[in-house]
């Protein structure tokens, strides 16, 4: 199946729920204890494989973040904080308890921002190559600036797996193009400046006291393994697990291995 | 028709450097002594334009060899004292890229009083890639543009007590312009447009609407403006509210004019040299527009020839003329080309004339401006759609 067809198929399961007046695109899949899955910069559709794998052991709640995919973006939303508070409302809305929170990349940043505020409904946390801590200092940049890179360089920085098919954009269905445009705009809104971080997050990470695992691709060229150190230091009790033959998009390069680690951890 | 002289004030010695001319071009390619000589030369040409009866238009860009004017108001502050008669047009100030709109208003007011009330102010969204230098958020750019516009206008218009201001992006305790502008209630305001949709707001505000190097699209922009103007004000839009920017190369003989045009063509070839990721940062344009762009592919934004075909990648001077981007030839030929374009787009009252562009030398620029002022400008003064011998020929 082409990427385009499998994306369309995956999104068929999406429903629309209204939480605090916000119409959210949400995929609920599988059976077992609740797992809140927070996608990365390429939208929930980019994580379809790992979501399907996790649904074998969990009831996975996989929303499109407000502004991404088919989820509304309230005009007042402008920071990751807004998303974090919204997801606390989501946990209340479904009255979820003992939740495993999993976030990759941008979603890892959102997960951290949720948990520094309130961990009462959460039992454990998995951060896959999260962003959100300082990405540059003075002239030294630690996380590659996707806005300054050629699209091909961005693709190479994101994943080791070659991009599946080379269908020209113009030939994709309009609904998919709209998702691509909305995802890119939302990443820009939340991550343009400061670039993909909250300068206050490092002061608050110690508040996350639930068991935490950090997953990191050994060949992550967007946020190199060295960047993980500040998360390890800030979280205190977190365990860092690396994955071989894996870039930034862990959910693309090593979905089976990552899902297995999450299942074992839980 | 009023004619304005415009130059991007390029650092043309860098045109030979391979690769992009904007955003990523290293400043190591800039010899500041050469830059100083060139900037002084362009200012001399503006002073000449003043003497010849042109209006003066300046713009600004950042991190670009194609344009060394990094601040409209800095350039105009110099020309406010060095010119005597010319209207001074900043087109424009990229207000959504400025972090401090009150400072923008202060600079407007200062140049207006310095020039004896000759300033005209363009507030523009500007080129998308400028956000990489300003670092201002590309998303919600248009909202921030109108927010900054409102604050700047409030500051310029204010003749009462000082005021405080609080909006999404801007907060001030005391807004007070010293000096305040000479022209009341404000200097004339200009904006730019490249679609019928975006000219609607400009018409409602009764601002002058300019379109740059857009060829046949100018007709659509002007039509949108005229329609919205009539609806908003109950009278037809005056021609002086419409402006078109094109490149002009004239000379005593056709061959020399075409040689000058070849030098000026460097403007088009260098302006396009920009890496793809900087052309349309996410959020700068609305989602719907971005979807359309993805569907249309890279040819969508190319200007069109009269036949409707897109302008080819490396057009000839004849093709630039055909597309309405250049007016080239003897003064009589240039007049005929401008008149034809004027008729084709339904009339406009301002020609923003790139009388210097690319690598065109000082001597050639002086001759270009002088000849145009002597032989073309007087004939354009009373150009009118009602005049005899004007034949309507719509663009394909």
Judge: A147–B135 Cβ closer than 8 Å, yes or no: no
pLDDT of residue A266: 80
Size of interface A-B (CB pairs under 8 A): 60
Chain B residues with CB under 8 Å of A179 CB are none
DSSP 8-state symbol, A61: E
Q: Lowest mean pLDDT of A15-19, B156-160, B285-289, name the range.
A: B285-289
pLDDT of residue B387: 66
pLDDT of residue B388: 54
Judge: A188–B296 Cβ closer than 8 Å, yes or no: no
Q: Is the pLDDT of residue B158 over 90?
A: yes
Q: Is the pLDDT of residue A2 over 70?
A: no
Cα–Cα distance measured from residue A126 to residue A57, given in angstroms and rounded to the nearest whole number: 15
Name the pLDDT band for B197 (thresholds 50, 70, 90). Answer: confident
- Mutation target among B97, B140, B146, B294 for the A interface, most CBs of A within 10 A: B294
Q: Is the pLDDT of residue B334 over 90?
A: yes
Q: Lowest mean pLDDT of A7-16, A41-50, A196-205, name the range.
A: A7-16
- Does residue A136 belong to the interface with chain B, where contact is any CB pair within 8 Å? no
Q: What is the pLDDT of residues B209-238, one digit of tens each?
A: 999 999 999 999 999 999 999 999 999 999
pLDDT of residue A87: 98
Q: Lowest mean pLDDT of A139-153, A158-172, A224-238, B84-98, name the range.
A: A158-172
Rg for chain A, CA atoms, rounded = 17
pLDDT of residue B146: 97
pLDDT of residue B8: 97
pLDDT of residue A7: 87
Judge: A189–B140 Cβ closer than 8 Å, yes or no: yes
- Does residue A244 belong to the interface with chain B, where contact is any CB pair within 8 Å? no
Judge: A169–B290 Cβ closer than 8 Å, yes or no: no
pLDDT of residue A78: 98
Cα–Cα distance measured from residue B111 to residue B75, given in angstroms and rounded to the nearest whole number: 10
pLDDT of residue A166: 66
Judge: A178–B291 Cβ closer than 8 Å, yes or no: yes
Smallest Cβ–Cβ distance between A184 and the set B282, B296, B297 belongs to B282
The interface predicted TM-score of the complex, written ipTM, equals 0.94
- Give the list of residues 6+ apart from residue B270 with CB closer than 8 angstroms, or none: B10, B15, B21, B65, B66, B358
Q: Is the pLDDT of residue B390 over 60?
A: no
Q: What is the pLDDT of residues B225-280, one digit of tens each?
A: 999 999 999 999 999 999 999 999 999 999 999 999 999 999 999 988 999 999 99
pLDDT of residue A165: 59
- Give the list of residues 6+ apart from residue B328 with CB closer than 8 angstroms, or none: B247, B248, B249, B250, B257, B258, B260, B261, B317, B320, B321, B334, B337
Q: Lowest mean pLDDT of A63-67, B17-21, B160-164, B386-390, name the range.
A: B386-390
If one compares A171 and A114, the residue with the highest pLDDT of the two is A114
Task: Name the E strands within chain B.
Answer: 2-6, 55-58, 88-94, 119-124, 163-166, 171-175, 189-192, 208-212, 242-250, 326-329, 350-354
pLDDT of residue B298: 67
Q: What is the mean pLDDT of residues B354-373?
A: 98
Phi, psi of A136 (to 5 degrees): -160, 155
Judge: A188–B294 Cβ closer than 8 Å, yes or no: no
Chain B residues with CB under 8 Å of A151 CB are 276-277
* Torsion, CA B257, CA B262, CA B266, CA B268, rounded to 10: 80
Name the pLDDT band for B302 (thresholds 50, 70, 90). Answer: confident
pLDDT of residue B396: 38
- Strand, coil or helix: what is A214? strand
Judge: B283–A188 Cβ closer than 8 Å, yes or no: yes
Q: Is the pLDDT of residue A113 over 50?
A: yes
Judge: B276–A150 Cβ closer than 8 Å, yes or no: yes
pLDDT of residue B394: 47
Name the pLDDT band for B21 (thresholds 50, 70, 90). Answer: very high
Task: Name the E strands within A140-261.
Answer: 140-141, 212-217, 239-243
Query: Residue B180 in contact with residue B158, Cβ under 8 Å?
Result: yes
pLDDT of residue A71: 98
Query: A56 preceded by cis ω (within 30°)?
Result: no
Q: Is the pLDDT of residue B203 over 90?
A: yes
Cα–Cα distance measured from residue B4 to residue B124, given in angstroms and rounded to the nearest whole number: 18
Shortest distance, CA B283 to any CA of chain A (angstroms): 5
Q: Is the pLDDT of residue B389 over 60?
A: no
Tell me the residues of B at the A interface, defined by beta carbons under 8 Å apart. Answer: 132, 135, 137-140, 275-277, 281-283, 287, 290-291, 294-297
Name the pLDDT band for B1 (thresholds 50, 70, 90). Answer: very high
**Which of B339, B331, B165 is CA-nearest to residue B253?**
B331
Judge: A188–B137 Cβ closer than 8 Å, yes or no: yes
Residue B113, classified by CB atoms within 10 Å of its CB into exposed (0-12), middle (13-18) or buried (19+), is: middle
pLDDT of residue A211: 97
Find tokens 């005009």 and name the residue. A75
pTM of the model: 0.95
DSSP 8-state symbol, B118: -
């Amino acid at each position: 199946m082409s990427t385009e067809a499998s994306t369309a198929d995956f999104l068929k399961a999406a429903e629309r729920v209204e939480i605090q007046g916000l119409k959210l695109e949400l995929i609920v899949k599988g059976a077992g204890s609740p797992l809140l899955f927070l996608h990365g910069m390429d939208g929930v559709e980019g994580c379809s494989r790992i979501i399907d794998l996790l649904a074998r052991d969990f009831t996975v709640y996989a929303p499109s973040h407000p502004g991404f995919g088919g989820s509304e973006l309230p005009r007042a939303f402008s920071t990751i904080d807004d998303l974090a508070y919204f997801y606390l409302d989501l946990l209340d809305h479904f009255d979820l308890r003992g939740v495993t929170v999993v976030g990759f990349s941008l979603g890892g940043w959102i997960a951290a921002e949720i948990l520094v505020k309130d961990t009462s409904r959460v039992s454990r946390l998995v951060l896959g190559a999260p962003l959100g801590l300082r990405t540059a200092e003075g002239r030294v940049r630690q996380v590659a600036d996707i806005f300054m890179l050629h699209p091909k360089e961005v693709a190479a920085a994101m994943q080791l797996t070659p991009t599946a098919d080379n269908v020209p954009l113009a030939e994709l269905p309009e609904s998919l193009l709209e998702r691509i445009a909305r995802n890119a705009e939302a990443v820009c809104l939340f991550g343009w400046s400061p670039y993909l971080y909250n300068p206050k997050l490092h002061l608050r990470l110690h508040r996350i006291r639930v068991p935490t695992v950090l997953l990191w691709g050994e060949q992550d060229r967007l946020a190199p393994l060295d960047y993980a150190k500040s998360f390890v230091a800030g979280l205190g009790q977190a365990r860092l697990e690396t994955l071989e033959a894996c870039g930034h998009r862990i959910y693309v390069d090593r979905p089976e291995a990552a899902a297995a680690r999450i299942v074992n951890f839980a | 028709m009023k004619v304005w002289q415009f130059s991007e004030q390029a650092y043309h010695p860098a045109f030979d450097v391979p690769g992009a001319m904007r955003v990523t071009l290293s400043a190591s390619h800039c010899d500041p002594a050469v830059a100083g000589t060139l900037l002084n030369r362009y200012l001399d040409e503006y002073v000449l334009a003043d003497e010849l009866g042109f209006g003066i238009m300046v713009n600004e860009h950042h991190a670009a060899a194609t344009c060394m004017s990094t601040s409209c108001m800095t350039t105009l502050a110099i020309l406010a004292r060095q010119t005597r008669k010319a209207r001074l047009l900043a087109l424009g100030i990229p207000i959504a890229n400025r972090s401090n709109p009150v400072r923008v208003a202060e600079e407007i007011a200062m140049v207006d009083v310095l020039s004896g009330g000759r300033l005209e102010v363009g507030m523009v969204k500007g080129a998308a890639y400028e956000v990489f230098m300003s670092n201002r958020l590309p998303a919600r750019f248009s909202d921030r543009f109108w927010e900054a516009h409102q604050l700047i206008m409030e500051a310029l218009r204010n003749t009462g007590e000082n005021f405080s201001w609080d909006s999404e992006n801007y907060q001030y305790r005391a807004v007070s312009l010293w000096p305040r502008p000479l022209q009341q209630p404000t200097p004339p305001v200009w904006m730019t447009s490249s679609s019928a949709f975006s000219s609607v707001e400009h018409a409602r505000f009764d601002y002058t609407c300019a379109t740059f190097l857009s060829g046949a699209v100018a007709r659509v922009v002007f039509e949108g403006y005229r329609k919205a103007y009539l609806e908003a004000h109950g009278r037809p839009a005056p021609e002086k509210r419409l402006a078109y920017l094109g490149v002009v190369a004239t000379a005593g003989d056709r061959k020399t004019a075409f040689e000058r045009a070849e030098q000026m063509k460097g403007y088009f070839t260098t302006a396009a040299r920009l890496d793809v990721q900087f052309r349309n940062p996410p959020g700068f344009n609305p989602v719907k527009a971005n979807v359309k762009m993805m569907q249309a592919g890279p040819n969508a934004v190319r200007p069109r020839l009269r036949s409707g075909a897109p302008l080819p990648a490396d057009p000839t001077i004849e093709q630039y003329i055909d597309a309405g981007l250049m007016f080239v030839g003897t003064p009589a030929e240039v007049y005929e080309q401008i008149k034809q374009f004027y008729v084709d787009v339904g009339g406009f009252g301002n020609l923003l004339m790139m009388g210097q562009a690319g690598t065109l030398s000082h001597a050639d620029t002086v001759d270009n401006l002088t000849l145009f002022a002597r032989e073309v400008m007087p004939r354009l003064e009373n150009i009118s759609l009602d005049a005899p011998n004007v034949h309507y020929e719509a663009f394909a």
